[in-house]
Structure 1
Amino acid sequence: MAETKRHQGRFSRMNDRYAVGLSLIAAGSAVPLASNRPGWWMLWTGLIALMAALHLIQAARIAPNRQPRFLAQKWLFGAALLVPAYAMVQALPIAGVLPQILAPMRSGMEGLRGATLSVAPDASLIGALRVLGYILFLALVVEVATRRQRLTRIGRIVFIGITLQAIWALVALKLLNDFSFWGEKTSYQGAATGTFVNRNSLATFLGFGLVLGTVLVGRLADGPRMRMSRPQSLPERLGFEGGLILLGMLLILLALVATQSRLGLLASALGVATTFLLLRRRSGLPTRRLWAESGVILLIFAIGLAIFGANGVLQRLLFIEGDGGIRLDLYRQTLGMVALRPLTGFGFDAFGVAFEAFRSPPLNGRSFYDLAHNSYLGLWAEQGLIIGSIPPILLTIAGVISWRRLSDEQGFPSFAAGAIGVLVMGGVHSLGDFSLEVPANNFVFLLLVGLGIARKIQSESDDPAPVAAKPLQPVPSAATRTLVIELAPQPGAKGEDNRGPST
Structure 2
Amino acid sequence: MSVAAKGSVTPAPPIAQDGARVRMVPRPAPASGPRLVPPTMHRLNTVVSVAIVALLVLAPIPLGSNRPAFWMIWSTAIGGLAFTYGLVLLRLRAPPRLGLAVFASEVALLLSLCAYVAVQTLPLGGLLPQVIRRVETLGISPATLSLDPGSSRLVLIQFVTFGLLFFLAAQVAANRLRARRMLLGILVIIALFAVVGLVSLTQLGDTLLGFEKQIYRGYATATFINRNSFATFLAVGLTLGTAILLEAVALRRELPLGRLLGTLALVAGCIAVIGAALVSTGSRLGTVAGVGGAATALVLGTMAFRGIGRVGFIVAFVLLGTALAVVGTFGMSLVERLVLLPTVDESRVDAHRLIWAAIFERPWLGYGAGSFATVFQAFQRPPLSAESVWNNSHSTYLALWFEMGLVAGSIPLVVIALLGLRTARGARDPASAVVSVATLGVIVVFAIHSLLDFSAEIEANAFLFTVILALGAAGGLGRNIVPAGHGLRPHTPLT
Q: TM-score range by the shorter chain?
A: 0.7 to 0.9
- 2:274 is matched with 252
- Out of 38, 41, 48, the position equivalent to 2:71 is 41
Task: Kindly report the root-mean-square deviation, in angstroms, between the aligned alpha carbons of the 2 structures.
Answer: 2.8
- 2:60 is matched with 30
Q: Distance in 2 between matches of 1:83 and 1:459?
A: 32
Equivalences, count: 462
Q: What are the superposed Cα offsets for residues 318-345 of structure 1, whole Å, 9 maximum, x if unpaired? A: 1111122211101100001101110000
Q: Is the 8 A contact 2:302 2:309 kept in 1?
A: no
Q: What are the superposed Cα offsets for residues 251-280 of structure 1, whole Å, 9 maximum, x if unpaired? A: 111111110000010000110111122122
- 1:415 is matched with 435
Q: Is the 8 A contact 2:137 2:379 kept in 1?
A: no
CA gap of 1:334–1:26, structure 2 versus 1, over 3 A, is same
AA at the equivalent of 2:302: R
Asked if residue 130 in structure 1 is aligned to residue 150 in structure 2, the reply is no
Q: How does 1:268-287 map to 2 (within 5 A)?
A: 268-284=290-306
Q: What are the superposed Cα offsets for residues 391-432 of structure 1, whole Å, 9 maximum, x if unpaired? A: 1121122211111111147x6111011110000010000001
1:159 positional shift: 2.2
- Out of 108, 113, 133, the position equivalent to 1:104 is 133
- 2:27 is matched with none
Q: What are the superposed Cα offsets for residues 373-393 of structure 1, whole Å, 9 maximum, x if unpaired? A: 011011000000000011112
Alignment partner of 1:385: what SS?
helix
Q: Is the 8 A contact 2:183 2:435 kept in 1?
A: no
Q: Distance in 2 between matches of 1:287 and 1:313?
A: 34
Q: 5+ residue gaps in structure 1?
A: 468-495
Q: Distance in 1 between matches of 2:445 and 2:454?
A: 13
Q: How does 1:228-243 map to 2 (within 5 A)?
A: 238-243=260-265
- 2:384 is matched with 363
Q: Distance in 1 between matches of 2:341 and 2:66?
A: 27
- 1:181 is matched with 209
CA gap of 1:339–1:11, structure 2 versus 1, over 3 A, is same
- 1:353 is matched with 374
CA gap of 1:302–1:131, structure 2 versus 1, over 3 A, is farther
- 1:306 is matched with 328
The percent identity for this pair of structures is 30
Q: What are the superposed Cα offsets for residues 337-374 of structure 1, whole Å, 9 maximum, x if unpaired? A: 10111000000010011111111112121121111101
1:222 positional shift: 3.0
Q: Distance in 2 between matches of 1:286 and 1:250?
A: 22
1:500 positional shift: 9.1
Q: Is the 8 A contact 2:66 2:458 kept in 1?
A: yes
Which deviates more from structure 2 when the two are superposed, residues 75-84 or residues 251-260?
75-84
Q: Distance in 2 between matches of 1:242 and 1:58?
A: 39
AA at the equivalent of 1:250: A
- 2:467 is matched with 447
- 1:377 is matched with 398
CA gap of 1:345–1:462, structure 2 versus 1, over 3 A, is farther
Q: Is the 8 A contact 2:64 2:459 kept in 1?
A: yes
TM-score normalised to the size of structure 1? 0.85
CA gap of 1:116–1:177, structure 2 versus 1, over 3 A, is same
1:457 positional shift: 4.1
- Out of 145, 149, 163, the position equivalent to 2:177 is 149
Alignment partner of 1:41: what SS?
helix
AA at the equivalent of 2:172: V
Q: Distance in 1 between matches of 2:170 and 2:6?
A: 27
AA at the equivalent of 1:61: R
- 2:147 is matched with 119
1:313 positional shift: 0.7
Q: How does 1:164-203 map to 2 (within 5 A)?
A: 164-181=192-209, 183-203=211-231
Q: Distance in 1 between matches of 2:456 and 2:207?
A: 25
1:26 positional shift: 1.5
CA gap of 1:207–1:500, structure 2 versus 1, over 3 A, is closer
- 1:221 is matched with 249
Q: Is the 8 A contact 1:152 1:216 kept in 2?
A: no
Alignment partner of 2:38: what SS?
helix
CA gap of 1:2–1:118, structure 2 versus 1, over 3 A, is same
1:181 positional shift: 2.1
Q: Distance in 2 between matches of 1:365 and 1:182?
A: 33
- Out of 212, 218, 222, the position equivalent to 2:240 is 212
Q: Distance in 1 between matches of 2:230 and 2:218?
A: 14
Q: What are the superposed Cα offsets for residues 45-83 of structure 1, whole Å, 9 maximum, x if unpaired? A: 111111111111112222345564343112212212322
AA at the equivalent of 2:339: L
Alignment partner of 1:33: what SS?
coil
Asked if residue 75 in structure 1 is aligned to residue 118 in structure 2, the reply is no
CA gap of 1:259–1:344, structure 2 versus 1, over 3 A, is same
AA at the equivalent of 1:450: A
Q: 5+ residue gaps in structure 2?
A: 9-34
AA at the equivalent of 2:299: L
Q: Distance in 1 between matches of 2:284 and 2:481?
A: 46
CA gap of 1:107–1:155, structure 2 versus 1, over 3 A, is closer
1:464 positional shift: 6.0
Q: What are the superposed Cα offsets for residues 156-178 of structure 1, whole Å, 9 maximum, x if unpaired? A: 33222212211111111111111
1:94 positional shift: 1.0
- 2:412 is matched with 391
Which deviates more from structure 2 when the two are superposed, residues 92-101 or residues 335-344?
92-101
- 2:124 is matched with 94
Which deviates more from structure 2 when the two are superposed, residues 55-64 or residues 332-341?
55-64
Q: Distance in 1 between matches of 2:376 and 2:288?
A: 29
